[in-house]
Amino acid sequence: MPVGKPIERLDALEKVLGAAKFGADIKREGMLYGVVVRSQKAHARIHHIDTSQAQMIPGVVKILSFRDIPGKNRFGVLRKDQPYLSEGYVRFLGDPILLVLAESERAAREAAASIRITYGELEGIFGPSSSALSNVKIHEDGNLLCQKKVIRGDIQKGFSTSDLVVENTYQTQFLDHAFLECEAGVGFLDELGRIVIISSTQNVHYKRKEVATLLALPEEKIRVIQATTGGGFGGKLDMTVEGYVALAVYHTKRPVMIRYTRSESMLANTKRHPLTISYKTGATKDGRLTAIQVRVVGDTGAYASYGEVVAQRAAVHASGPYEVPNVYVESLMYYTNNPPCGAMRGFGIPQMAFAHESQMDEIARLLGIDPLQIRLINGLKRGASTITGQRLTHSVGYIDTLKAIEPFWRDRRKGDWEGYGLGSMYYGIGNTGVPNPSSCYLTLREDGKIGFHLGACEIGQGSDTVLLQILLQTLSVGPEGVELIRADTDLSKDAGSTSASRQTYITGKAVQLAGEALKGYLEEKGFYRGRSLKEIYLEAKEEGRILFEGFFDPPTTPLDPQGQGIPYATYAFATHMTKVEIEPATMRCRVKKVIAAHDVGRAVNPVNIRGQIYGGIAMGIGLALMEEFVPGKTLNLNNYYVATIKDMPEVETILIEDPEPTGPYGAKGVGEPALIPQAASIVNAIRDATGMRILKLPCNFERLWLQRLSGGT
């Protein structure tokens, strides 16, 4: 049967042959090109804009400002606080001001560069601590975006019964998604006069809603289709080019393309939230955790984006995959004049794992307990409760990940300047304590095929393949009998965003339920006894039963003011063991080997899962050792260092299958979990190799050298 088999990815051949059409590959006759003019100041009022030179450049068709927006000049996933085009006030370096449209991209860029803008600069705020204390307000409601808490037990009692208390403050950096394909999209009017947008995106239905609001049009007048998308990692969840493309088509009635250069992408797109994590842990002398007190302070940049989500998830996951009876977590997120920070693989939990896994190793070291043993002592298991008070009754494979790693851990042998480290994590699948549904539908077709109408966006993670496997398993048919129609607001229902590792679990269950509905009908009509789908289609059409829908919303409850509740229906668990080697002359760290054990519920496609884990390890190496976006200074990939194939270690993966009863055939998700424990395991391995505890990321060789010179531990 298809589930559990490493079948070939649906998009593999097309991509290998270079036949896939990405957003920037799509062409339409008579197409205009758009370029966004962006602020050159981080915080300022706009005094004057001179477009006279731009207007005289041959080929320039139109220059649009906020005054040309017929609907609402605001967007945002949770809080509509970000303007498409500035209304005379800019909040970060790169804030959009104008949209230039021309017959060629060269003319559009030349015109954009010739526009002169006079600013009245305002005091800038470039860190959350400054934001908290400043009298300058970036937004009318002040600079505090949100405050989230998780409180359980008696924190004072917890520390009073501790034999050991460890306190440290950890800092993480801004990161860029650095996806291979920059943001791009094309728009045009169809034969019905509707605006059609084909773009690189992670959520077509959300983008349609935002465009409709921007243009003051009903959603039926907008169609959004996902182009082949070359990576996202969360950076294509927010509005990127879609609003500008739609606005341009609305005004010109002509096809329009907008595609960002790498510099534009790095300037304009959202970043990973930098967090400062003050962490206090109490434990008894036998290694059992008694209390944690955690204060997280984050920088969401100029606009909210997913800042509230990151603050909430950071708080909920502050303990890591450990049972802690007494907890006080406060998570704060502030506006600054830095670039907006949004969703990026893990929603704040990779940063928290760096902190809680460092704490676990320090407690183990000070108590003389093996690092793996202290995790076994405290690890979440069936019957345990999370820090939100959720009792875990099923699919809790954390201890199994540790036991899978244990033989490798016991057999480790290290030489001089070599070290081994563990990193563990748990991750709530889907959105946090809110409705999080997905839908799909199947159709019987005249040509004898089953139409698989799927709203989920494939962004390179392999969801098309996995979801098809689930459908084939349910229907007991071969792939030749199914045609996939994906990520088109006209031809699919809302499957929610491709984020939070939710598509396999949530959309996968919706697919299974749709398949079961259709299978029941096919059984009734004799399909499994030899009747053809063409015959059955004719009967179904007469009966008005050619469409079969599946819907699934995971069972969760909202969190109360103290952060108690059931925020997720299921959790993924993982442990990584990493070996590093330090070059003593340069203090450069090389990751030599990683053993990665993941509880995935059920491995729908083992090869696909391993590919996700390899990618997560690469991103974890970048987070730990080299990647750092510096606002105003990082302008391209020439000074932003991502892990390449030469940085990749030997990797061994171990898949733990502790089935999730509400998931499709027991499956959960692995997209973000693949990344989360990796940086933590590297940092702990560096501690083992050098004796130095790293408190700030990235731990590049310059920082490691400076710490060594200062005698820091």
- Tokens 């406060």, located at residue: 330
361 and 469 share a domain?
no
End-to-end CA distance of the chain: 54
Please give the Cα distance from 489 to 478 (Å, whole number).
Answer: 27
**Does the reported pTM lie above 0.95?**
yes
186 and 58 share a domain?
yes
Give the DSSP H/E element, type plus range, for residue 141.
none
Say what the pLDDT of residue 227 is: 98
Say what the pLDDT of residue 1 is: 82
- Could you tell me the residue range of the domain that residue 230 belongs to? 23-122+178-268
534 and 597 share a domain?
no
Domain boundary among 533, 552, 571: 552
642 and 622 share a domain?
yes
538 and 618 share a domain?
no
Residue ranges, the chain, pLDDT below 70: 712-713
Say what the pLDDT of residue 710 is: 86
Which CATH number is 56's domain given?
A: 3.90.1170.50
262 and 278 share a domain?
no
184 and 284 share a domain?
no
Q: How many domains does the chain have?
A: 3
Domain boundary among 268, 302, 319: 268
Domain boundary among 233, 252, 268: 268
Say what the pLDDT of residue 286 is: 98
Domain-located, residue 7: no
Name 329's bridge partners: 150, 294
- Interval 41-67: pLDDT, tens: 999 999 999 999 999 999 999 999 999
Which CATH number is 391's domain given?
A: 3.30.365.10
Task: Work out the burial of residue 144: count CB atoms within 10 Å of its CB; fewer than 13 is exposed, 13-18 middle, 19 or more buried.
Answer: middle
Q: Are 225 and 267 in contact (CB under 8 A)?
A: no
Say what the pLDDT of residue 711 is: 80
Say what the pLDDT of residue 713 is: 62
Please give the Cα distance from 566 to 127 (Å, whole number).
Answer: 33
